[in-house]
Structure 1
Amino acid sequence: MGDSPPRELISLADDEGNSVSVNVLARTPRWTSGLDAEIVVKTPFVSGRIDLALSVARLESWANALDRLDAGEDAAWMEMSSGPTISVQLTGERGCPEVVVEDESGSMVTVRVPLVPPEDWIADHRQRLRQVLDHWIPMLSG
């Protein structure tokens, strides 16, 4: 097709300069059914990134997290695995949604990013997930 592979699985940002994204980088050479990815946090105060390995199961668990968020519940993604965890709290400590990125097993750093996502962000992220799955799953399965 000539199209570039979908890169942004998660892209949450506001007009205050706060953002959290998960970018799919490539198929990992270390593991035939995995993807190299990164979590990127940017705020006017702090910025950082951490490597992440994505599997089909992790991508499917993001779909489940989106379902919980759509039902009005807070959700944590990758909470029970080693590596970083991303949590979305619909009503955070500052009265607006917050994305919490925790790297307990590595750097032991936690970053809370308050941001108000656009109205249609859950539908947008379902579409992002579908694009990532449609592009990468055939390559990971074969």
Structure 2
Amino acid sequence: MRELISLADDEGNSVTVSVLGRSPVWNAGLDAEIVVRTPFVSGRIGLVLSASKLAGWAAALHGLDTGEDVVWMEWDRGPTLSIQLTGERDCPEVVVEDESGSMVTVRVPIVPPDDWIADHRQRLREVSDHWVPMLSA
């Protein structure tokens, strides 16, 4: 298992996206899950990642690096993950929406470390280097 996204703070709030392995149903996909943990609510939802979704995450990281709020996996079946750099509580917020399934939205305020975008670019490189060659095989 590799964590593509790992956002956490000292308050006990976290949102992670972990790659679990190659999808047994779709050769060009990776089984993954989004896990939300807070002192108040916790949950998880499965999803399938593709090479194009990983490219979308790279574009999202670029947007975040230039100061833009981003939405990742919008208009796709399954969950959507948004990052708002200045959320309702004047700190970054991660919003996980599952409109197509449970119809639940969770908003998690998180103050990430200063180097979090560089860390997530490295995470993306590691996931891509390990998994993307297998998806095209």
Give the alignment's TM-score, normalised by structure 2.
0.99
**Structure 2 partner of 1:108:** 103
**Structure 2 partner of 1:38:** 33
Q: Which amino acid aligns with 1:108?
A: M
Deviation at 1:80, TM superposition (A): 1.5
Residue 13 (structure 1) aligned with residue 41 (structure 2)? no
Runs of 5+ consecutive residues of structure 1 not aligned to the other structure:
1-5
Q: Please give the secondary structure, in 1, of the residue aligned with 2:59.
A: helix
Aligned-partner Cα distance in 2 for 1:126–1:20: 16
| RMSD (CA atoms) | 0.6
Q: Which amino acid aligns with 2:61?
A: L
**Structure 1 partner of 2:59:** 64
CA deviations on 1:31-57 (whole Å, 9 max, x unpaired) are 111000000000000000000100000
Residue 27 (structure 1) aligned with residue 27 (structure 2)? no
**Structure 2 partner of 1:3:** none
Give the alignment's TM-score, normalised by structure 1.
0.95
Aligned-partner Cα distance in 2 for 1:141–1:127: 21
CA deviations on 1:43-95 (whole Å, 9 max, x unpaired) are 00000000010000000000000000000000000012111000000000011
Aligned-partner Cα distance in 2 for 1:38–1:82: 14
Deviation at 1:138, TM superposition (A): 1.1
Identical residues among aligned pairs (%)? 75
Find 1:124's aligned residue among 119, 126, 132. 119
